Amino acid sequence: MEEAFSVITSKANPRTVSLRDAAGPLFRRKMWLLSIFTTTAALILAAGFLIPRPYESQMTILVGRDRLDPVVSTEATTQVPPDGAQAVTVEEINSEAELLLSQDLLKKVVAATRLDRISSPLDWLSPARSATEKIEAATRRLAKDLKIKNATNSDLITVSYKSPDPGLAHSVLSNLGNFYVEKQVEVHRPPGSFQFFAEEADEYKHALERAEANLDTFYETYKVSAPEEVRTDLALQLATLTGTMYSARQSAAADEQRIETDEDQIKAVPQRAVSQRATAPADRLLEDLGTSLVAAQTRRTQLLMKYDPAYPLVEEADQEVGQIRATIAEAERKQYVTETTDVDPEYESLREDIAKTRADLAAQRAGAKAAGNNIADMREQMVDLNRRALEQDDLEREVKADENDYLLYVSKREQERTTDALDKARIANVTIAVPPSIPALPLYSSPMVILVAILAGLFFSFTAVYLIDYFDSSFHSPAQVEESLGIPFVVAVPKKTA
């Protein structure tokens, strides 16, 4: 028997499914089809017309880099103009989208629109919830209901919100946009920077005034405004004076050598030279000697008249007479030369040169000594000027540094003042390009509800009918009997209902 069945099934041709076979379950189960279709459509129509239809409000935010906030730093910063700014990246757009869903921002929107007072299914499950819990639940619902989309290759963020109340949908997005701009300004710029830079600018202004007062006191104390220039002039004078001192010393050495040479020369030169010479006999001397001889002989004669020739006075007179006679004899043999002398010119020239050189030597020594004293004084002055110049440089550097810091913080303060003005004007890098509006029409219309009900009824009824027919184990046609049992049939009698 099993072999015959296998032969029959192997020889049977595969049966193709016709349109009649496909539509057979729909005709066999018309009541099921009609009831499921009617029930599904009725439920959808009831839900579409009885449940308040939602209204959707939309808002479009443009993300850009039109505003460049100054960097909060003590260093000078250069802002890049908007024309040179790079395009907004996807990460930045995603960050702005996440900022829209921040909890503190959504809580502000909930508080402003009173979303926590709108009843929800959770109120029936836990009616004793606190106000904080209601606000938290409303915030979570708002985060789920907000739809945030970013178009591809676009700087636009589209935010939509659905609500049965069109005014509420508009109010939620309007408040969200306002709070979002404030949040964006608050997040991208730290508060209190203007006050900080203003205080620093005042402090450095006072420091600059103190530094300038110290510099003025320095000028008044030392009575010099440019020690560096005075030191330069004094250095030139010192160089000149040093050259003069060395020149004086050299000249003094030369004068000493000249004096020594002149003194050696003057030793070999007579002081006077004969200018006239006259030769004559000693007549006057002989005459005087003759007179003296007569007087001596007369005195001897007078002594002889009184005394003996051996008397000492007589002998003394004889000696005197002999000496006079010897002198007369000597004078008669000699010739007397009369010479006239004058100062020697060479000796006088050397003497005058020595005197003049000694005077010059004294002057050169005095000049060298005075120059040395002046050089020592100038060097002390230069050392003092060096200290003053260093002190002045320190004071000027302090003034310059305080001035630079003051100007820097004044510039920073004005930048922060401008930023504060932009904050007050709510000018940020995000702009509400398309503000939300109160929707006039619901999200879907009545014809759409009817069409959805019909399509849904058809889909669920067809699906249910085919599923019921698929799980039904009874035979519905002779072909099913032949396919399932492999037994040929002679006649088929359709079932008739009473």
Residue 467 amino acid letter? L
Asked whether residue 436 carries a pLDDT value surpassing 80, the answer given is yes
Q: Pseudo-torsion of CA 219, 221, 222, 228, nearest 10°?
A: -30
Per-residue pLDDT, 263: 81
Contact 342, 272 (CB under 8 A): yes
Contact 24, 476 (CB under 8 A): yes
Separation of alpha carbons 92 and 78, rounded Å: 22
Contact 327, 291 (CB under 8 A): no
> Total domain count for the chain?
3
Residue 63, in any domain of the structure: yes
**166-188 helix and 103-113 helix, angle to the nearest 10 degrees:** 140
* Per-residue confidence band for 407, with pLDDT thresholds at 50, 70 and 90: confident
pTM value?
A: 0.44
Residue 460 vs residues 20, 21, 37, 50, 456: alpha-carbon distances, Å: 21, 20, 7, 21, 6
What tokens does 129 get?
């919830």
Separation of alpha carbons 212 and 205, rounded Å: 11
Residue 110, in any domain of the structure: yes
Instruction: Count Cα neighbours of 43 within 13 Å in the Cβ-side half-sphere.
Output: 9
Sign of CA dihedral 305, 307, 308, 310: negative
**423 and 279 in one domain?**
no
* Span 119-132, pLDDT tens digits: 665 555 555 567 78
Q: In terms of C-beta distances under 8 Å and separation of at least 24 residues, what long-range contacts does 439-443 make, across chains too?
A: 439/55, 439/56, 439/57, 439/166, 439/169, 439/170, 440/166, 441/55, 442/53, 442/54, 442/55, 443/53, 443/54, 443/55, 443/56, 443/162
Q: In the predicted model, what is the mean pLDDT of residues 454-483?
A: 75
By mean pLDDT, which of 123-127, 184-188, 194-198, 341-345 is the weakest?
123-127
Contact 183, 102 (CB under 8 A): yes
**69 and 156 in one domain?**
yes
Max mean pLDDT among 81-95, 240-254, 431-445 falls in: 240-254
Asked whether residue 251 carries a pLDDT value surpassing 80, the answer given is yes
**Which H or E run includes 235?**
helix 227-266
Length of the chain counted residue by residue: 498
Contact 213, 395 (CB under 8 A): no
Residue-averaged pLDDT of the chain? 75
In a 3-state reduction of DSSP, which class is residue 146? coil
**178 and 108 in one domain?**
no
Contact 286, 332 (CB under 8 A): yes
Residue 178, in any domain of the structure: yes
Residue 203, in any domain of the structure: no
**152 and 10 in one domain?**
yes
**433 and 291 in one domain?**
no
By mean pLDDT, which of 12-21, 59-68, 280-289, 311-320 is the weakest?
12-21
Question: In the chain, what percentage of residues exceed pLDDT 70?
Answer: 71
Per-residue pLDDT, 5: 34
The one-character DSSP state at 82 is G
Instruction: Count Cα neighbours of 47 within 13 Å in the Cβ-side half-sphere.
Output: 9
Separation of alpha carbons 103 and 100, rounded Å: 9
Instruction: Count Cα neighbours of 90 within 13 Å in the Cβ-side half-sphere.
Output: 5
**136 and 162 in one domain?**
no
Per-residue pLDDT, 10: 37
Per-residue pLDDT, 485: 66
Residue 235, in any domain of the structure: no
By mean pLDDT, which of 95-104, 225-234, 382-391 is the weakest?
225-234
Q: Which domain holds residue 287?
A: 272-343
The one-character DSSP state at 438 is -
**83 and 29 in one domain?**
yes
Domain stops at, among 327, 343, 359: 343
Max mean pLDDT among 62-76, 176-190, 229-243, 437-451 falls in: 229-243
Residue 213, in any domain of the structure: no
Residue 278, in any domain of the structure: yes
Contact 180, 157 (CB under 8 A): no
Separation of alpha carbons 196 and 417, rounded Å: 11
**Could you identify the residue written with the tokens 């004096």?**
259
Q: Are strands 147-150 and 272-281 parallel, antiparallel or unpaired?
A: unpaired
**59 and 75 in one domain?**
yes
**130 and 13 in one domain?**
no
Per-residue pLDDT, 193: 66
Separation of alpha carbons 98 and 160, rounded Å: 15
**181 and 60 in one domain?**
yes
**159 and 135 in one domain?**
no
Residue 319, in any domain of the structure: yes
**116 and 155 in one domain?**
no
